[in-house]
Amino acid sequence: MITQAGVAIGLANNVAERVPDLGTDFSSLLMAVIVLNQLAGPPLLKHALLSIGEGKQSTNSMHKSPKPVQVDSTLGVRYSV
């Protein structure tokens, strides 16, 4: 997606140079659309894929809550409960 944003930014700059009256407004609008697309696009795509059953829920261990741990202060040993 980053490369597509780069092409769109280049187009906005080109329009701003060639059509000074319309170019600034067009460039501002296009930049706003690019920012919204970059921020909202990936989460919306993930939601759409999950809702139709084409994606997988994350099984990353970082999302799981850690096991409780007790520390024995005399020995400095940690063990799971």
Q: What pLDDT, in 10s, does the model give residues 13-49?
A: 888 888 888 888 888 888 898 888 888 888 898 889 8
Q: Global pTM?
A: 0.54
Q: Does the structure show a pLDDT above 70 at 9?
A: yes
How long a stretch of residues is the chain? 81
Pairing of strands 69-72, 77-80: antiparallel
Gap between the Cα atoms of 5 and 54, Å rounded: 26
26 contacts 12 by C-beta, under 8 angstroms:
yes
Q: Which phi and psi (to 5°) does residue 38 adopt? A: -70, -35
pLDDT classification of 73: cutoffs 50, 70, 90: low
